[in-house]
Amino acid sequence: MNRSTGRHFLQIPGPTNVPLPVLAAIAQPTVDHRGPGFPSLTFEVLEGMAAVFKTSAAIVIYPASGTGAWEAALVNSLSPGDTVLMVETGHFASLWRKMATRLGLKVEFLDGDWRRGANASEIETRLVEDHAQKIKAVAIVHNETSTGAVSNVASVRRALDAAKHPALLMVDTISSLGSIDYRHDEWGVDVTVGGSQKGLMLPPGLSFNAISQKARLAARSARLPRVFWDWEDMIAANLTGYFPSTPATNMLQGLKVALNLLQEETLPVVFARHERAAEATRQCVRHWGLEILCSDPAHYSSSLTAVLMPDGQSADALRSMILQRSSVSLGNGLGKLADRVFRIGHLGDFNDASLLGSLAAIEAGLLTSEIAIKSGGVEKAIASLVSSGHLQIAAE
């Protein structure tokens, strides 16, 4: 095999690049998770995650992918046959629906076109119609990783309040937490789902629930079976600084450092960095003459941009060629978007130089593939970054 020179550009929407200090922390010797020194690590990461979720509510950490945290949210708070209202915003909303159905829940799925976030007005209308209040939860995806569209969580909360409906509000933040502003308490969310491998700058392997008191009360009468996922077992053990089963000790060591990096940069600066990169990417894509999948600018994601290919062109062939020639990995289209879009991740540990290098490789790939675009998109991205007053091309 030919050796690939230079660094690899991982520009998928997760897993994202892991900073060297985080990798070094994960590589430290494994600690005794029952030893006297472990509680300080537990308390520190729980406090750090509370700051990221912007909550004073209970937080639990599972040694699992985000899918595990999805399941935990459902099985802790609901009973067989309960109705959950979900919104078809993309591939991951559809997967959450599939999970709920397999768990024995009844799902009402509000149709969507995969090009925008959840429509709060449609949610409110359905809740107003639910006179018997059979809907026990509303579950939405904050940032739909398959489409690059964000749902306005605050507006969904207002929809529940306007309808005077007691349903729990559940939100998936797997590709937004640590990248896009999120406020668990202020927005009245009952269960927030998160994962380690995106904005938190860790490998896959940790997932999170932030849990309101209302959700904990609902869990007392919820009858879906749960053992490993049980919130109260986790919360009770965490109060002592320990876990009810073996935690992912080395990942927790990495999480501690990742949270310190976010705190050092500060969350407002982190969010602004992501939005600058997102806007520069959109300016570049528009100049090329390609279409951004998210059709509503109010729903644009700061974490990623999904780009529609022209009719008759293969997104997967383009991605493969760019990877082979430039060692740049781009996200593929998922579900009904397979081979129709490529996704540019701009989240986690990145800077302007890594973004511009990736956009240059994509532009070169488009031109090499003889796809009809207008060259010069990278210059538009540079101009966008310069106009923001924050162009930061850091040396290695």
pLDDT in tens, 358-381: 999 999 999 999 899 999 999 999
Choose one of 201, 230, 263: the last residue of a domain: 263
Same domain, 158 and 219: yes
| DSSP H helices in 86-201 | 91-102, 120-129, 153-162
pLDDT score, position 388: 86
Same domain, 62 and 29: yes
Choose one of 263, 294, 316: the last residue of a domain: 263
Q: Rg (Cα) of the chain, in Å, rounded? A: 21
Annotated binding site: 343
Annotated binding site for substrate: 343
Query: Residue 210 is part of which domain span?
Result: 20-263
Please give the backbone phi and psi of residue 227, each rounded to the nearest 5 degrees, phi first: -130, -70
Same domain, 106 and 230: yes
**Strand 168-172 to 135-141 pairing:** parallel
pLDDT score, position 390: 64
Same domain, 259 and 290: no
Integer CA distances (angstroms), 275 to 64, 145, 156, 385, 390, in order: 29, 16, 22, 10, 11
- pTM of this prediction? 0.96
| DSSP H helices in the chain | 20-26, 38-53, 66-77, 91-102, 120-129, 153-162, 213-219, 231-238, 249-265, 267-288, 315-326, 352-368, 377-387
**Within a domain: 203:** yes
pLDDT score, position 391: 58
Residue 1 has pLDDT above 50, yes or no: no
* pLDDT tens-place string over residues 211-245: 999 999 999 999 999 999 999 999 999 999 999 99
Same domain, 250 and 309: no
Estimate to the nearest angstrom the gap between the alpha carbon of 341 and the chain centroid: 19
Integer CA distances (angstroms), 371 to 1, 318, 365, in order: 29, 10, 9
Domain count, the chain: 2
**Within a domain: 392:** no
Burial of 327 (0-12, 13-18, 19+ CB in 10 A): middle
**Within a domain: 395:** no
Same domain, 144 and 165: yes
Same domain, 166 and 228: yes
